[in-house]
Amino acid sequence: MKKVVIISFIFVSAIMSMKAQSFETTVEMPKIGYQNAVSIDLPYTADDVEATLKKRFEASGLKGKSASKGFTEYKSVKFKEFSNEIINIYTKVDKNKQSKTDSKVYILVSLISDDVFCTSATCESLIKNVMEFENKLEPYVALYTTTVQFDKSTDDLKKAEKELRNLQDDGVSLQKDKDKILKKIEENTQKSQNKQNEIEMKQQIVHEFQLKKSKQESELPK
C-alpha cells in the first residue's frame, strides 16, 4: 500500500511538472514563406491567449497592427523583455485543430538592421528571452481567463440582483393592489349586505301593503 501511494505521488508530481515549453520552429508568413519563430502550445483558447499577448505588449506601451493571415506586427519597437534594442516583433495565435480549448503561439523577431528573422544561432540572447517570455505566458493567460470569468460572473450577479429588486418592487406594488382590492371587496360586501337589508325591509312593506290591499278589496260593498 505504501509503495502504491509513493508511486501515485511521483506520477502526479511528474504530470504537474510537465508544463508546456517553448521551442524553435517555422511558420508561414504572407508573401515571404516559412520563417523562423518561437512557439509554445497552451491549454487555452486562441481568443484568450491573443488578448493576453495584446495586454502584455500594451503594458509596455506597444500597440500592434493587424497584418494578413492572423499576424499582429509591432514594427521598430523596444520591448525590454526581449531586448534593449529596437526590433520588429510579429505574433500569431492559431487554434489547435484537435482541441477547441488549446492554441499555439508564434512569436517572430528580427533586428532593424536585418530582414532575416532571428534564430538561436543568429540572435542567441534575443531568442532566449523570447522563449522565456513564452514559458512564463501561461499564468498570465490563466489570470486573464479567470478575470473574464469573474467579470462575467459579477455582471450576472448584478443582473440577477437587479431582477430580484424589480421583483420585490413588483411584489410591494402587487401587495398594495391586493390591499386595495381586498378593501374594495370588503366595502362591496358591506354594501351588498346593506342593500339586502334594504330589500328585505321593502319586501316587508310591499307584503304589508299587499295584505292591506287584499283586505280592502274583500270589504268592498257588493
Residues 154-212 pLDDT 10s: 999 999 999 999 999 999 999 999 999 999 999 999 999 999 999 999 999 999 999 99
- Residue 114 is placed in which grid cell? 536585418
Both 94 and 160 in one domain: the answer is: no
Q: Give the count of domains, the chain.
A: 2
Whether residue 169 sits in one domain with residue 66: no
Q: Are residues 72 and 111 in the same domain?
A: yes
Task: Give percent of the chain with pLDDT exceeding 70.
Answer: 92
Rounded CA separation 127/81 (Å): 11
| Residue 179 and residue 121 share a domain | no
Over residues 38-55, the pLDDT tens digits come to 999 999 999 999 999 999
**217 located within any domain:** no
User: Taking the mean position of all CA atoms in its chain, how far away is CA 184?
Assistant: 49
Task: Tell me, yes or no, whether 81 lies in a domain.
Answer: yes
- 103 lies in the same domain as 162: no
User: Are residues 125 and 175 located together in one domain of the fold?
Assistant: no
Residues 103 and 198 reside in one and the same domain: no
Number of residues that make up the chain: 222
**Looking at the DSSP assignment, which residues form a beta bridge with residue 26?**
36
Q: Are 160 and 130 members of one domain?
A: no
Residue 78 covered by a domain:
yes
- What does the pLDDT read at residue 18? 59
Indicate whether this model's pTM tops 0.95: no
Three-class DSSP category at 179 = helix
Are 31 and 72 found together in one domain?
Answer: yes
The pLDDT tens digits of the residues spanning 53-66 come to 999 999 999 999 99
Q: Do 90 and 127 belong together in one domain?
A: yes
Residues 164 and 116 in one domain: no
Q: Is there a single domain that holds both residue 80 and residue 185?
A: no
Give dist(CA 32, CA 71) in Å, integer: 13
- What is d(CA 74, CA 222) in angstroms, rounded to the nearest whole number? 130
Q: List, in sequence order, every beta strand (DSSP E) within the chain.
A: 23-29, 33-42, 65-66, 72-77, 87-95, 103-111
Identify the domain containing residue 193 by its residue range. 156-210
